[in-house]
Every structure is written in structure tokens, then in C-alpha cells.
Structure 1
Amino acid sequence: MKRFSLLIIATLLLTPLFSEVYKTGVTASYYAEDFHGKRTSNGERFNMNDYTCAHKSLPFNTVLKVTNLANGKTCEVRVNDRGPFVASREIDLSKAAAIKLGMIGSGTTKVKLEIIKKGANTKISQQTAACASKIMAKLSGGFPSNSKTSANSKKPANIAPGTYWDIQLGAFSSKENAKEFARKVSHAGFKNIVLQTSASKGITRVAIKKVPASKVTDTQNKLTAAGFTEQTLRQRKD
């Protein structure tokens, strides 16, 4: 009887105090190698092998149970970053979480989110959530044609009307890393992504191809808002 009572107590202690359905039928994506080791919005180093996630507004250290509605697989993740900055997506998962949910192949999937433990609504949580909200407002409202481009972009002095441009976003010695980065750009909602491999230099470039001159500035601004700040413009010859 005593052993049975101890078992009940242990079960109660290990069971979360509540499980609140936050949202269901929303889209999850994931991020991996290209962001591994970089700072997250709460100041940690992103580790793609940890069970963490990015969310636009939930307090940091909130623990979520994520259920892949396509196959029923589940995992628990902790919020330590902001994003994804795509209106149609609710949560960006670490690679480890994506593997456990069986969504690596598809890249995105519909999920149910349940709050297991709510994180403290600290000042940094509030500030970063407000910043994420502003970014999403800009993305949904569009950008004026005279908006500034990224400080890191290399823009020619003149973009002649009627010309077409490739916007390079990264160059990688590993083709697999280039593919992973291209997947991330695609998950952010961008199209016409191309891998350009230089056999002589041993690098693979990731670029958005054939952007009309009239849309170059707008595309660069949207890329910057989504976190792709390293940009190099190259005019197409064809």
C-alpha cells in the first residue's frame, strides 16, 4: 500500500500542472545548420540538436507540446527565439524536433500546440515580441518602393529599368549546407531560389534568380525583414 501511494505521488509530481491547447491546425517549419551556433532572440546559442523553437509572441521558456497532425507524432519544445517571419507559419522548430515529428522531408506540416508550462513574461520577452509584431506588420503591409536596402547588401549604382537581377544570399563550401539554407529561404516564403555551383572555386551560391529591376528593392527589403541581410546583386546577362 505504501509503495502504491508513493507511485501515485511520483506520478502527480511528474505530470504537468496543466496542458492548455494553444492553437491547432497551424503550420510549423524548422531551421537547422545555417543558424547552428548563432544567437537566438533571448541571447542563447541556437543548438539545432536541442528541443527548442521560435515563436513570434509566446514568452521565452514556455514549454509546448507539438503534435504533427499528419502522423500523430509528438515532442516538447522550449521557446527561446522569435519567428518565423512568414504570416502563414506559427512556429519554427529546431532540427531535432523536426526529426522527432517526422517532418524533415516535407519541411512544413500542420500541428497542434499545447502549452505545458508558461514562461515568465520578462522584459526581453515583451520587447522581442513587440519587435516581431512590427516586422510582421511590415511584411503584411508591404514596403514602399523607396525603402532602404540592407546595410550589408552590395547594390550597384544604377538598376536600369527592364533588366533582371540575381540576389545572392550566401556562398557555401558544403553543398549540403547550401541546400539547407535554400530550404530555409523557401520556408520564409520566397520563390525562384537557385543553387549556383562553381566547380573551380568549390563553392555553391544560394540566390533568388531573375528578379525584375522594378522589384529588386522590394524583394531586398522583404529578405532583410526575414533575417537574410547578407545580399549581393548580380545583373543577369541572359
Structure 2
Amino acid sequence: MKRLIGALLLILLCAGCGAQKRVIFIPKSSRKPVSSACKYTYTVSGKKYCVRRSYRGFVQVGIASWYGPGFHGSRTASGEIYDMYKLTAAHKTLPLGTYVKVINLENGKSVIVKVNDRGPFVKGRIIDLSYAAAKKIGMLRKGTAKVKIIALGKRVDHRYKPVPYSKGRFFVQVGAFRNKLNAYKFKWLVSKKGYRAKVVKLRGYYRVFVGPVSTYSKAERLKRELLKRGFDGSFIVSL
């Protein structure tokens, strides 16, 4: 009888639980401010990014893209020179120097790359692979692929400082030519449309740049404007 009464009381008590908020007790020792997860933060186009203190346990699924000739020879966020023929990548929040395994979920191919740069700052994309890495997992022609990222660790201890992405010297590349005369003809066409253009020889190509502008957000606006005016394939370059 006592057991029956106890069971009925338990049912009545639980019936009232549905209207109450669920409270989870967190031990005092584990209460830490959210900022403790960040080694440092940086801002691009008004959005703040938190660089993780550790790579441990990091797994991510999303869309990968790749970057190549336009950035070949430029300095990366880690201070290294970007080489499109090496297995590297850009990621927004993993510590620089972290090695990650990137699996192309569309064909099963995988590659291990070192994160030595920041990006991609395009909505919906989680990692930018070098030309060589993108080729390894068969996504060059399509340009993007759904991937899974697994952080493996840091084989080398890199000392680095956050790069001020919000300010700098940015250009928008609108064309690249093997022939110098064609590059200058195209530069003249761009100038006729009211833009300040220049030709720079870089890695065997005569590249036509518009700019410079002083912030990444201004470069983004300039790129969108140029795309609307018919300069297809325009992209931002930092020199």
C-alpha cells in the first residue's frame, strides 16, 4: 500500500514538471566566459571571428572552394608565401599551422593540408583549398564540393600575429593575359569606364588590377560593382 501511495505521489509531482523550465546545474569550476575559447578575434566586413585556442576535437562539414593564380606568391596570414602547388588551406577559426584531413563527400577522395591562411569570407563556405589540394580531391573543374574536415594536429609550432583584414591595400583583379599588349588594351578599356587600373606582371601573367582601396569591405563593394558591369571572374587580391 505504501509503495502504491508513493508511486501516485511521484506521478503527480512529474505531471507538474512539464510547465517548469529545465535547469541544468553547472559546477562552479567549469563556468568560464565564452571568450576563453578564443585565442584572439578579428573582424572582416563587420563580422567578428573567434580563432580557436585548440584544434582538438574539431570536425566540420560544409562547402569547400579553392584559390589559385590570383594569390600565388602573396603573403598569407601565417607569414608564409602562398604557393598554389603546395597542400595548404585557408580557414576562418582553426589555429594557423593546424593540419586537417579534408574528405570530398561527393567522391570519397581525401587530402591532408596545412592551414596557413584565413578565409574563405564567402557565405556558406568553410575552407579554401590550394590549387594542388583541390586537384587531389577532384574539385578543380566544379570549383566547390561538400567536404568533411577533421583536425589532426600541429606538427610545427608556428608563431604568428593576427592579420588586420579590415585594413590594408586591396585590389580587384579583372583580367590576366600572357600577352603584354592585350593586357594594356584591356587596362585602357577598364579606365574608359571610369576605374583606376594598373597592369602588374606576376608569375608569368600580366594582371589587370583595379584599385587600390584601403579596406576589405570597400574591395568587396568594388568587386560587386565590377561584376555588375560585366567584368566576370573578378576577385579580390591583397598586395
Asked if 1:224 corresponds to 2:216, the answer is yes
TM-score normalised by structure 2 residue count: 0.50
Which runs of no fewer than 5 residues in structure 1 stay unpaired? 1-17, 136-149, 154-167, 176-197, 211-219
Partner of 1:170: 174
Which runs of no fewer than 5 residues in structure 2 stay unpaired? 1-54, 194-211, 230-239
- CA deviation after TM superposition for structure 1 residue 170, in Å: 2.8
Q: Which has the higher contact order (CA 8 A, sep 6+)?
A: 1
Whole-Å Cα distance in 2 between the matches of residues 200 and 169 of structure 1? 12
Whether the 8 Å CA contact 1:23–1:112 is kept in 2: the answer is: yes
Whether the 8 Å CA contact 2:89–2:115 is kept in 1: the answer is: yes
Cα RMSD of the aligned pairs, angstroms, is 4.4
Whether the 8 Å CA contact 2:70–2:173 is kept in 1: the answer is: no
Asked if 1:77 corresponds to 2:81, the answer is no
- CA deviation after TM superposition for structure 1 residue 68, in Å: 0.2
SS at match of 2:160: helix
- CA deviation after TM superposition for structure 1 residue 224, in Å: 3.2
Whole-Å Cα distance in 2 between the matches of residues 109 and 58 of structure 1? 20
Asked if 1:51 corresponds to 2:87, the answer is yes
TM-score normalised by structure 1 residue count: 0.50
Whole-Å Cα distance in 1 between the matches of residues 189 and 152 of structure 2? 38
Whether the 8 Å CA contact 1:37–1:46 is kept in 2: the answer is: yes
Whole-Å Cα distance in 1 between the matches of residues 98 and 183 of structure 2? 48
Partner of 1:67: 103
Whether the 8 Å CA contact 1:69–1:110 is kept in 2: the answer is: yes
Whole-Å Cα distance in 2 between the matches of residues 206 and 105 of structure 1? 29
- CA deviation after TM superposition for structure 1 residue 111, in Å: 0.3
- CA deviation after TM superposition for structure 1 residue 78, in Å: 0.2
- CA deviation after TM superposition for structure 1 residue 34, in Å: 1.1
For residues 80-123 of structure 1, what are the alpha-carbon distances to aligned partners after superposition, in whole Å with 9 as ceiling and x for unaligned?
A: 00010112110000000000010011100110000111478977
SS at match of 1:97: helix
- CA deviation after TM superposition for structure 1 residue 36, in Å: 0.6
For residues 148-183 of structure 1, what are the alpha-carbon distances to aligned partners after superposition, in whole Å with 9 as ceiling and x for unaligned?
A: xx9778xxxxxxxxxxxxxx74332249xxxxxxxx
Structure with a larger share of its residues in strand: 2
Partner of 1:95: 131
SS at match of 1:90: strand
Whole-Å Cα distance in 2 between the matches of residues 169 and 42 of structure 1? 23
SS at match of 2:129: strand
Report the identity percentage: 35
Whether the 8 Å CA contact 2:89–2:116 is kept in 1: the answer is: yes
Whole-Å Cα distance in 2 between the matches of residues 113 and 22 of structure 1? 5
Partner of 1:159: none
- CA deviation after TM superposition for structure 1 residue 124, in Å: 3.3
Letter in 2 for 1:22: V
Indicate which of 10, 22, 45 corresponds to 2:59: 22
Question: How many residue pairs get matched?
Answer: 151
